[in-house]
Amino acid sequence: MPTRLPRHVVPAAIVAAALASVALPASAADKVKIGFVSTLSGPSSALGIDIRDGFLLAVKLNGGKLGGLPAEVLVSDDQFKPDVAKQLFEKNVKRDKVDFMTGVVFSNIMFAALPEAIDNKVIYISPNAAPSSIAGKDCNPLFFAVSWPNDAYHEAAGQFANTRDLKSVYLVAPNYQAGKDSLAGFKRTFKGQIVGENYTKLGQLDYAAELAEIRAAKPQAVYIFLPGGMGINFIKQYVGAGLGKDTTLLLPGFSADQDVINPVGAAMAGLFNTAHWSPDFSNAANQKFVAEFEKEYKRVPTLYASQGYDAAQLIAAAVRDTKGKLEDQAAVLKALRAARFDSVRGPFKFNTNQYPIQNYYVRTIGNDGKGGLVNKSFNEPILKNHGDAYVQSCPMK
């Protein structure tokens, strides 16, 4: 027969529990909780996986902490579906009560899920997607892009095409916000003629019809924005169709990083691409990042991984500078805007719309000395201290 507790213990226990549960929230946060939602499955999963691995590496190198507080990172997979991302954001914000949301790769998925964070006053740190609308009229004090404005790589590529005296270019991008931003960015700086502009379906993998069109248009160069699996398939089929011989293929870093180089292989050698970061940058933060990433994950980091790492570092800087008082959101936002951390890309600063102002470089794909291919950057940036074309429309000053 179970022994019964003395009569006064049970009510006392209940009161004690009630007091304890009331007492807890009053102190400063004892850990920083981050919701990480990204594309971790499907043909473009390499992007989300790299951002996640870069982010978690930063946490690990700081002993499981960010800015002095133990970090709890809740990772989940949006499966490249906007509605799934929205649900995951809602869960992280409402049930898990995270301090920051981050992780999304694709602009369309981010648009669907972002309101769940912003409307509930949770800060979103974008390690990738950074659409033109949020750089301009829809800018938001709770939104920070730690990567680049969507147009930037493409503006750099357009400028590079000018320096190469290219007169006619055919453009391809997927038909979604980032795709439109990309070709708008290229056209902003490119001074030659656009002989074709083709928006394909997001997620499309068979480009036979589009490649035939390109061949008929006979451009000097082809510029594509096709991230992830889309780019891998396009480049393979481009080579398969024999287009590589007469037409230069110009790429943004998104379609020319390690996640594309590995599956496509030798055909990538010698191709030029533009990016804000390259694995061979010589600053101390980057050398440490690349060495630790290769040691931990046995592969060369992509620009996506560098963005994930920097996102974690940015959060760490904010936690450190507010001494862990995350409830004071105004102080957190001020610390985030100051962005006092050593970015792997070199000097980092935010524009008034909380998008980066930074340099963009031309990279070329060359031998890594071990039988593989890797990106190598040119020292002189193609665009220096470059912001974006939308900051004037942003009310934040």
Partner 1 sequence: MLILEQALNGLQFGLMLFLLAAGLTLVFGVMDMINLAHGSLYMVGAFVAAWLVALTGSFAIGVVGAVALTFVFGMALEIGVLRTLYARDHLSQVLATFALILILNDGTKMIFGNDLPLSAPAALAGPVELLPGLQYPAYRLLILAVGLALAALLWLLVQKTRMGALVRAGASNRTMATAMGTDIGRLFTVVFGIGAALCAVAGALLGPLLAVQVGMGENILILAFVVIVIGGIGSIRGALVGAILVGAVDTLGRTLLQHVLREFLPPQWASAAGPAIASIAVYVFMAIVLAIRPQGLFPARGG
Q: Which is nearer to partner 1, 46 or 142 (CB)?
A: 46
| Residue range at the interface with partner 1 (CB under 8 A); choices 11-19, 125-133, 150-158, 240-248 | 240-248
Q: Which is nearer to partner 1, 86 or 180 (CB)?
A: 180
- Determine, following the binding rule CB under 8 A, whether residue 198 of this chain makes contact with partner 1: yes
- Determine, following the binding rule CB under 8 A, whether residue 242 of this chain makes contact with partner 1: yes
Q: Which is nearer to partner 1, 45 or 302 (CB)?
A: 45
Specify which residues 249 forms β-bridges with: 222
Burial, 339: exposed, middle or buried (Cβ in 10 Å; 0-12, 13-18, 19+)? buried
The 8-class DSSP code of residue 26 comes to G
Structural tokens at position 327: 């409830």
Contacts with 98 (C-beta within 8 Å, 6 or more apart), sequence order: 33, 34, 35, 74, 92, 122
| 3-class secondary-structure state, position 197 | strand
Q: Which of 48, 229, 279, 356 binds partner 1 (CB under 8 A)?
A: 229
**Contact pattern for partner 1 over residues 94 through 123, marking x by CB under 8 A:** ------------------------------
- Determine, following the binding rule CB under 8 A, whether residue 327 of this chain makes contact with partner 1: no
Structural tokens at position 164: 């190469």
C-beta of residue 30 within 8 angstroms of C-beta of residue 325? no
- Determine, following the binding rule CB under 8 A, whether residue 201 of this chain makes contact with partner 1: yes
C-beta of residue 234 within 8 angstroms of C-beta of residue 252? no
Q: Which of 19, 208, 284, 330 binds partner 1 (CB under 8 A)?
A: 208
Structural tokens at position 35: 């919701």
Q: How far is the CB of 355 from partner 1 (least distance, A)?
A: 23
**Rounded to 5°, angle at Cα 178 from 172 and 184:** 60
- Determine, following the binding rule CB under 8 A, whether residue 259 of this chain makes contact with partner 1: no
Q: How far is the CB of 206 from partner 1 (least distance, A)?
A: 5
Q: How far is the CB of 201 from partner 1 (least distance, A)?
A: 7
Cα distances from 321 to residues 34, 77, 281, 346, in angstroms, run 17, 31, 27, 20
| 3-class secondary-structure state, position 83 | helix
| Residue range at the interface with partner 1 (CB under 8 A); choices 147-155, 208-216, 344-352, 371-379 | 208-216
- Determine, following the binding rule CB under 8 A, whether residue 200 of this chain makes contact with partner 1: yes
CA distance 171 to 168: 10
- Determine, following the binding rule CB under 8 A, whether residue 180 of this chain makes contact with partner 1: yes
| 3-class secondary-structure state, position 366 | strand
Which of positions 18-47 make contact with partner 1 (CB under 8 A)?
A: 41-43, 45
Q: How far is the CB of 105 from partner 1 (least distance, A)?
A: 16
| 3-class secondary-structure state, position 305 | helix
Q: Which is nearer to partner 1, 41 or 392 (CB)?
A: 41
Q: Which of 263, 324, 346, 366 binds partner 1 (CB under 8 A)?
A: 263
Query: Which residues sit at the interface with partner 1, rule CB under 8 A?
Result: 41-43, 45, 175, 180, 197-201, 205-206, 208-210, 212-213, 215-216, 229, 233, 236-237, 239-242, 263
